[in-house]
């Protein structure tokens, strides 16, 4: 493990100054004097302060967003896409500053911060390119073709509220904001109180790209104070965070009769089948388990290995994990960074300690490393974990993984599905056909084969979301923009009202209507005519 000293002046190591932080804070419109201090996980020193917005501040932001929404929606989809494509270029041009801010706020390694910065231009380009066709008017099967027609148009819901988390504050704010904006909505973003500065930097870049002022508002503050009025004020809420908070938001959204999408927790399984390449699987497991110090909703926390490969896999996995470097430098040196704060450190330490008390074996890691950073914790591999231990049942959200031997694939799948969560799973096999078939048996919204999570997340044309306690709704792809739209059906008749013609009795009208239903049913089976009736 790489050792570093603490008590540093982090601003001197970055492209960020305290004056730059202050300029970002000035973007928040708050009437009161209450503030929240934001601390750097690398040293636990203060980075700066942001306003603790209250209900009136939230209402004011929503009102401004609502006032400008019609003019934003009046722009063509292509024009909105051009502005967001310009924003994507600014993100790449300002990547060093964005990387520094993300590292300052989260404590993650620079290599993991890069994943966040790279994700935004990909999403911008995708929705800028595909948005026009997704929002285009859509002809549908009519009631009585060709006498009638039906067409669906798509309109923005209005003002979208987005609540983003601290673990991936850049990606997990923009992944909701980008499709919402393409759809013609305005947005009020509430970033986590631990990571507000990256949200403010991104909204500044959006305005530099030409997105009008007030189209994206940021309200900073405590979740318990800012969240409820935000949900009450907007027309849709997109939330990423804990399952517990997600339930509260879903209940409030339901009372308000507005839509919501929720990406929540996960206790994700990784399966190593008997025909997997051990070295490749071990290398993939390191990435799957320890990216961002395990503070990743998609991270693997439970590994099930076929008994024939168990010993060899453990040797390779433990060896690769021990070679990881732990540090908080603003360079590409450290493989893994810090946990976010003392609460997260306590959660990780409690889960490991409880597992050991119940008989678990620590193969590597299992130690807090204050010599490297106040919240740094070694990547940890546990075996001999009992099924009812906290680390096996709940999401740790840290650099901790359990490994278990299984006699066959059926047992691995059964154990993988023995969870209330269902966000992401990873399957490792040397058989391509097996790799395509087995995921259908796993109760997760995404299953990656011979990869931990990147191939699923980066497939931005495919929906991403969870089963069970892992959430509601989907982001990415067509589903990612449809959640921010209202559909309007316009149906017309070329023959006037579809009712009994004059001079025709009700009984004859009924016979004719049922006869038409039989005719349509038969014609729909004829290939050429079937296109007309489908």
Catalytic positions: 263, 297
Q: Which of 302, 371, 294, 300 is nearest to 339 (CA)?
A: 294
In the DSSP assignment, the letter for residue 491 is E
Beta carbons within 8 Å of 46's beta carbon, 6+ residues apart: 37, 38, 39, 40
Q: Which helix (H) or strand (E) holds 245?
A: helix 243-256
DSSP output for 50-115: EE---HHHHHHHHHHHHHHHHHHHHS-HHHHHHHHHHHHHHHHHTHHHHHHHHHHHH---HHHHHH
Using alpha carbons, list the distances in angstroms from residue 310 to 273, 278, 314, 366, 404: 10, 9, 6, 21, 8
Q: Which helix (H) or strand (E) holds 46?
A: strand 45-51
Kind of pairing, strands 148-156 and 138-140? antiparallel
Map residue 135 onto helix, strand or coil.
helix
Would you call 411 exposed, middle or buried from its count of C-beta atoms within 10 A (0-12, 13-18, 19+)? Answer: middle
Q: Which of 175, 188, 186 is nearest to 219 (CA)?
A: 188
Cβ atoms < 10 Å from Cβ of 285: 26
């Amino acid at each position: 493990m790489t050792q570093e000293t603490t008590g540093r002046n982090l601003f001197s190591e970055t492209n960020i100054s305290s004056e730059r932080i202050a300029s970002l804070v000035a973007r928040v419109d708050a009437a009161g004097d209450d503030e929240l201090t934001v601390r750097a996980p690398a040293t636990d020193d203060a980075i700066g302060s942001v306003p603790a917005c209250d209900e009136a501040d939230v209402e004011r932001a929503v009102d401004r967003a609502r006032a400008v929404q019609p003019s934003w929606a009046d722009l063509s989809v292509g024009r909105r896409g051009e502005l967001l494509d310009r924003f994507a270029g600014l993100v790449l041009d300002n990547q060093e500053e964005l990387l520094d801010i993300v590292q300052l706020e989260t404590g993650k390694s620079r290599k993991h911060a890069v994943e966040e910065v790279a994700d935004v231009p990909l999403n911008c380009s995708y929705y800028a390119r595909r948005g026009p066709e997704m929002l285009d008017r859509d002809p549908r099967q009519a009631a009585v073709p060709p006498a009638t027609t039906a067409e669906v148009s798509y309109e923005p819901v209005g003002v979208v509220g987005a609540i983003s988390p601290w673990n991936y504050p850049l990606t997990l704010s923009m992944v909701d904001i980008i499709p919402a904006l393409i759809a013609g909505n305005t947005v009020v973003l509430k970033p986590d109180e631990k990571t507000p500065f990256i949200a403010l930097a991104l909204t500044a870049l959006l305005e530099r790209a030409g997105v009008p002022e007030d189209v994206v508002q940021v309200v900073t503050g405590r979740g318990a104070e800012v969240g409820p009025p935000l949900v009450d004020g907007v027309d849709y809420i997109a939330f990423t965070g804990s399952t517990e908070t997600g339930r509260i938001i879903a209940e409030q959204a339901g009372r308000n009769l507005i839509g919501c999408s929720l990406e929540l927790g996960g206790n994700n399984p990784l399966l190593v089948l008997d025909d997997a390449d051990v070295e490749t699987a071990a290398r993939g497991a390191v990435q799957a388990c320890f990216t961002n110090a395990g503070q990743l909703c998609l991270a693997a926390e439970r590994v099930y290995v076929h008994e024939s490969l168990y010993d060899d896999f453990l040797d390779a996995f433990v060896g690769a994990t021990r070679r990881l470097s732990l540090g908080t430098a603003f360079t590409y040196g450290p493989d893994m960074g810090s946990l976010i704060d003392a609460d997260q450190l306590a959660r990780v330490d409690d889960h490991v300690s409880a597992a050991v008390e119940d008989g678990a074996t620590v193969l590597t890691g299992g130690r807090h490393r204050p010599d490297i950073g106040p919240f740094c914790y070694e990547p940890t591999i546990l075996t001999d974990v009992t099924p009812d231990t906290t680390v096996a049942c709940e999401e740790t959200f840290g650099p901790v993984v359990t490994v278990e031997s299984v006699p066959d694939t059926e047992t691995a799948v059964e154990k993988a599905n023995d969870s209330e969560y269902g966000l992401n799973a990873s399957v490792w096999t040397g058989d391509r056909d097996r790799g395509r078939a087995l995921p259908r048996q796993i109760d997760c919204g995404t299953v990656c084969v011979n990869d931990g999570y990147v191939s699923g997340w980066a497939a931005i044309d495919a929906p991403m979301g969870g089963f069970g306690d892992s959430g509601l709704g989907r982001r990415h792809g067509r589903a990612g923009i449809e959640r921010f739209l209202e559909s309007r059906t316009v149906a017309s008749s070329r023959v006037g009202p579809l009712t009994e013609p004059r001079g025709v009795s009700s009984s004859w009208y009924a016979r004719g209507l049922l006869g038409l239903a039989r005719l349509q049913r038969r014609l729909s089976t004829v290939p050429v005519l079937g296109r007309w009736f489908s």
